[in-house]
Amino acid sequence: MLAILFCGSIYAQDGISFAFTCNGNPLKLNEMIYKSYRGLTYQVSQVQYFVTDIRIINKDKSVKDFPQSCHYVDVEIPNTLQWSPAEDFTLQNADSIEFTFGFSAEQNRSYRFRNPPENLMFWPDYLGGGYHYMKTNILYLDADGNTNAFNCHIGRGQVYDAEGEPIEYIDNDFRVKIPVKRQGNNAVVNLDISTMFDFPHAELFTDYRGIMNNQKAMKTFSENIKAAFEK
């Protein structure tokens, strides 16, 4: 399980910081230096995701709930890597932290965001509407040494009829719960990119280009993403 680390001045407001690793080391963007369990070399170009409905569970079982909380995280935009609520709260007695990856069905409403970068995460209406939970884009080298793209985009899934038309939509959001370790005021929630592709399902990038209309693939990668937060 991922331990939540804390950092920062004792005088700062408590909050959450977001970090990224790959194979246990700080993530480096746009460098073809990573190798998947299935043997493909890849680089990470972009990582963006939403967390919502944040809550803090204290050691005495009391809960500090932020039911309407919604935060956009982008590895390339520094000011998205910190979340602090409008109201003061303390992590002094915190035991664990929970959040939803993506959005609940009630929160995932089309056109709720009017401005970038959040509105650029829209999910097409014909695929179920709302917003991407995540965009993780990579480039990889195939067996012939050619560079190819794989876009791991997670959002609402679809069930299709015999004619290929969507007849049902599936919400792929899930809850993450992480135990707390104290180290100051800010919780660091880390996402390990290598786990996203290797555990518990070791996926082969050559099986996909994008997965926005592939519910089976989105479910598979969602299970890996949950493990990547909890590593």
Task: Collect all residues with Cβ–Cβ distance below 8 Å to 39 and sequence separation of at least 6.
Answer: none
pLDDT over 80 (residue 10):
no
Query: Any idea which of 29-33, 65-69, 78-82, 145-149 has the lowest mean pLDDT?
Result: 65-69
Mean pLDDT of the 5-19 span = 63
Q: How confident is the model at residue 13 (pLDDT cuts 50, 70, 90)?
A: confident
pLDDT over 70 (residue 222):
yes
Q: Where are the domains positioned within the chain? A: 5-230
What's the confidence (pLDDT) of residue 8? 37
What's the confidence (pLDDT) of residue 4? 40
pLDDT over 70 (residue 12):
no
User: Closest Cα partner for 117 from 99, 139, 132, 101?
Assistant: 132
pLDDT over 70 (residue 69):
yes
What's the confidence (pLDDT) of residue 14? 85
pLDDT over 50 (residue 52):
yes
What's the confidence (pLDDT) of residue 183? 59
- What is the C-alpha separation between 104 and 13, in angstroms, rounded? 28
Q: Which residue has the tokens 């709720």?
A: 112
Q: How do residues 153-169 score in pLDDT, each as one tens digit?
A: 999 999 999 999 999 99
Q: Which residue has the tokens 């956009």?
A: 72
pLDDT over 90 (residue 54):
yes
3-state secondary structure 145-180: CCEEEEEEEECCEEEECCCCCEEEEECCCEEEEEEE
What's the confidence (pLDDT) of residue 202? 96
More confident residue, 12 or 137: 137
pLDDT over 70 (residue 7):
no
Q: Are 48 and 74 in contact (CB under 8 A)?
A: yes
Exposure string (b/e) for 129-149, b if CB count within 10 Å is 16 or more? bbbbbbbbbbbbbeeeeeebe
